[in-house]
Amino acid sequence: MSRLKINYMFVINHKKIFFIFSGLLVASSIFIISVFGLNFGIDFKGGSILEVAYSDVEHPSIEELKTNLQVLNLGNFTVQETAFGEDQDKVEGVILRTRDLTEVERELIISTISQEGQYQIEEKRYNSIGPVIGKELRGKAIWAILIVVLAIILFVAFAFRKVAEVANSNNKVSSWKYGFAAIVALVHDILIPTGIFALLGHYFINYQIDTVFVMALLAILGFSVNDTIVVFDRIRENLGLSKKEDFDEIVGKSLKQTIARSINTSLTTLIVLLTLYFWGGEATKQFALVLSIGVIFGTYSSIFLASPLLTLFQKRK
């Protein structure tokens, strides 16, 4: 076997190593979620959100506000910096998320944030979500993810419905197995970020599972399946062109032809997301972090998990 062939066959020949590594990551994520649970935000468990803007250029720091708010016995709460307007008209403010508040508690919080009138503030928004509505939103979020996953299964199975016709008799793999391999990769790609956030949410209250997190997961599903389908599509093309090669060699060649594109696309996306995380606003930090994790493991799964799975299915048909 030539040196070139060894290079692009490495993933296929050592697929058990990658399967074990992925299995450990998924098992660890499930274990962390089971032990620590998920730190749901007010979107999913109910609570209040208060958004205020400071009229003055100077205002208290986040650390100072947290210290002052802790004496009010609000339970778990988060305070984030935000901004209103653009350029010269930009006004600094804060967003407070906490449990459901009484009117008296709300007035105490307003007084605390304004340092008893020392700073002029403007209340931009105040919303309260009951536990029943939060539970309903949580259910809808789960259904949204399940519907997207089902749609992806049907799309991949339909898109690759004729793949067996272009392959020789030894290389035939049913179209539904392409869909199943893609779904295994997708489950891998959303379980790992969820497990990481369960761990972060256990130690840092700011890392919560909310609607923004669900939006990030849905974006990860789209990114991951796109990366996987690029590789699968190249496998389909090579099945029609390479009648004499076995299935393992065709998958390895397809990975060689697409791996540079996958890594380059992921790196450029990751650079943007990390820039958003480190230099963007507080409201987008968690979204950027979840997507960054998803991009990393989505790229990994399309190369080291989904494609080698096809070779496993082909051998066990």
Query: What pLDDT does 88 receive?
Result: 46
Query: What pLDDT does 289 receive?
Result: 93
Half-sphere exposure of 94 (CA within 13 A, CB side): 22
Instruction: Say which range, 7-21, 22-36, 88-102, has the weakest mean pLDDT.
Output: 88-102
Cβ atoms within 10 Å of 129's Cβ, excluding its own: 19
More confident residue, 244 or 266: 266
Q: Provide the pLDDT confidence category of residue 3 given band limits of 50, 70 and 90.
A: very low
Rounded alpha-carbon distances, angstroms, from residue 314 to 233, 247, 309: 16, 8, 9
CA 178 to chain centre: 22
Q: What is the Cα–Cα distance from 104 to 132, expressed in whole angstroms?
A: 23
Look at residue 146 and tell me whether its pLDDT is greater than 50.
yes
Query: What pLDDT does 46 receive?
Result: 77
Q: For the chain, list the domains and their CATH numbers.
A: 3-41+132-315 (1.20.1640.10), 47-129 (3.30.70.3220)
Q: What is the Cα–Cα distance from 115 to 65, expressed in whole angstroms?
A: 9
User: What integer is the mean pLDDT of 277-305?
Assistant: 88
Q: What is the mean pLDDT of the chain?
A: 83
More confident residue, 39 or 282: 39
Rounded alpha-carbon distances, angstroms, from residue 180 to 220, 251, 316: 17, 17, 14
pLDDT tens string 62-81 = 888 888 888 888 877 888 77
Q: What is the pTM of this model?
A: 0.80
Look at residue 4 and tell me whether its pLDDT is greater than 60.
no
Q: Provide the pLDDT confidence category of residue 5 given band limits of 50, 70 and 90.
A: very low
Query: What pLDDT does 317 receive?
Result: 60
Contact in structure between 51 and 124 (CB atoms under 8 Å): yes
Q: Provide the pLDDT confidence category of residue 184 given band limits of 50, 70 and 90.
A: very high
Contacts of 287 (CB under 8 A, 6+ apart): 212, 213, 215, 216
Sheet architecture: strand order including 121-129:
78-84, 91-98, 47-54, 121-129
pLDDT tens string 15-27 = 999 999 999 999 9
User: What integer is the mean pLDDT of 53-68?
Assistant: 81
Look at residue 291 and tell me whether its pLDDT is greater than 90.
yes
